[in-house]
């Protein structure tokens, strides 16, 4: 490797570190203020950059938002072939330990249903992929029919709705909503089992 190549790779590594710092800061600012209330200036200040310096890494606020969402999805990434229902339960438990991330995701999801929101396309595409993945998870577990008679295709949107709907309820009143426990109850319903939780 030439000296020039070494300098280039060092610069590239520094740029990636800075990019990761910006994404973490953006996540915090969005969690505190919502997407519409979050400014590039506030994110830049948090990482010790000028707004111009931030724009070097992310040319627009929309580009930063989509990068934040894609980064958040990477944290949960499991190859589709490896998802199982019991792993979904573990993911819900994991989410219960990181309310800031869940809050940001939920706030952006809620905002994204408005016309021309920059995250709308991301969430539309994401949900199509998640429904397809959950269909395969359910098919691997139950075959072509769940115990209640639904096909995996019809049950998948319900599974996704319960996961995300529980997050909203838990964020609003974490003392009253046991998110992992409620999700386990739902898995028992899907399986046609009586819940083993408290009556």
Position 13 pLDDT exceeds 90: no
Alpha carbon 148 to its chain centroid, in Å, reads 29
The mean pLDDT value of the chain amounts to 86
Alpha carbon 50 to its chain centroid, in Å, reads 28
Position 46 pLDDT exceeds 90: yes
The answer to whether the CB of 144 falls within 8 A of the CB of 152 is yes
Per-residue pLDDT at 12: 76
56-85: pLDDT as tens digits: 999 988 888 888 888 877 756 555 556 788
d(CA 154, CA 131): 10
158-183: pLDDT as tens digits: 999 999 999 999 999 999 999 999 99
94-142: pLDDT as tens digits: 889 888 778 888 888 888 898 888 889 889 999 999 999 999 999 999 9
The answer to whether the CB of 64 falls within 8 A of the CB of 22 is yes
Kindly report the pTM of this predicted structure: 0.74
Position 5 pLDDT exceeds 60: no
Confidence of residue 37 (pLDDT cuts 50, 70, 90): confident
Structure tokens at 140: 């691997």
Q: If DSSP states are collapsed to H, E and C, what string results for 141-184?
A: HHCCCCCCCCCHHHHHHHHHHHHHHHHHHHHHCCCCCCHHHHHH
More confident residue, 41 or 13: 41
Structure tokens at 102: 């869940």
Position 42 pLDDT exceeds 90: yes
The answer to whether the CB of 186 falls within 8 A of the CB of 194 is no
d(CA 34, CA 116): 16
Per-residue pLDDT at 41: 93
* DSSP states of 83-124: --HHHHHHHHHHHTT-HHHHHHHHHHHHHHTSTT-TTHHHHH
Phi-psi region of 11 (alpha: psi -120 to 50; beta: other; left: phi over 0): alpha
Per-residue pLDDT at 159: 96
Sign, CA dihedral 69-72-78-83, equals negative
């Amino acid at each position: 490797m030439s000296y020039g190549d070494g300098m280039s790779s060092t610069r590239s590594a520094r740029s990636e570190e800075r990019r990761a710092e910006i994404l973490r800061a953006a996540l915090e600012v969005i969690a505190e203020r919502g997407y519409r209330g979050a400014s590039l200036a506030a994110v830049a200040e948090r990482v010790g950059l000028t707004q111009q310096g931030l724009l070097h890494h992310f040319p627009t606020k929309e580009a930063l938002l989509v990068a934040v969402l894609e980064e958040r999805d990477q944290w949960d990434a499991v190859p589709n072939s490896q998802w199982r229902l019991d792993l979904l339960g573990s993911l819900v438990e994991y989410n219960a330990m990181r309310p800031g991330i869940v809050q940001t995701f939920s706030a952006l999801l809620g905002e994204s249903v408005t016309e021309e929101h920059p995250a709308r396309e991301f969430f539309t595409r994401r949900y199509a992929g998640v429904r397809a993945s959950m269909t395969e998870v359910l098919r691997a577990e139950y075959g072509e029919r769940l115990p209640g008679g639904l096909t995996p295709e019809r049950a998948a949107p319900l599974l996704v709705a319960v996961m995300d709907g529980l997050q909203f309820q838990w964020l609003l009143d974490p003392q009253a909503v046991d998110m992992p426990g409620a999700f386990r109850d739902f898995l028992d319903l899907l399986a046609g089992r009586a819940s083993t939780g408290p009556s």
